[in-house]
Amino acid sequence: MLISVSLDLCIGSGNCARIAPGVFDQDPEEGYAIVVDSSPERRSHAAVREAAAVCPATAITIAETGQQNKE
């Protein structure tokens, strides 16, 4: 799983940082989402998918790598 956030789309709602705090955070100055772990451990995958699903701006992109990422 590889994750990215489009800063052109992000509105800074903070949902992603609340749902998957080890993967997302918010820029302290701009308030937009930042990815702090673009290839998270498998145990975080469900939270990352949820964060992407609830993003009001659909700014989060997830690429499934098909590999067994960090266990």
pLDDT by residue (tens digit) across 2-60? 999 999 999 999 999 999 999 999 999 999 999 999 999 999 999 999 999 999 999 99
Helix, coil or strand: residue 42: helix
Structure tokens belonging to residue 29 = 């100055």
Separation between Cα atoms, residue 10 and residue 57, nearest integer Å: 6
Q: How confident is the model at residue 65 (pLDDT cuts 50, 70, 90)?
A: confident
* Domains of the chain and CATH, by start: 2-63 (3.30.70.20)
What's the pLDDT score for residue 25? 98
Averaged over 58-66, what is the pLDDT? 91
Of residues 36, 12, 33, the one with CA closest to residue 22: 36
Q: Which residues, 6+ apart, have CB-to-CB distance to 15 below 8 Å?
A: 51, 54, 55, 56
Q: Is the pLDDT of residue 70 over 60?
A: no
What's the pLDDT score for residue 67? 58
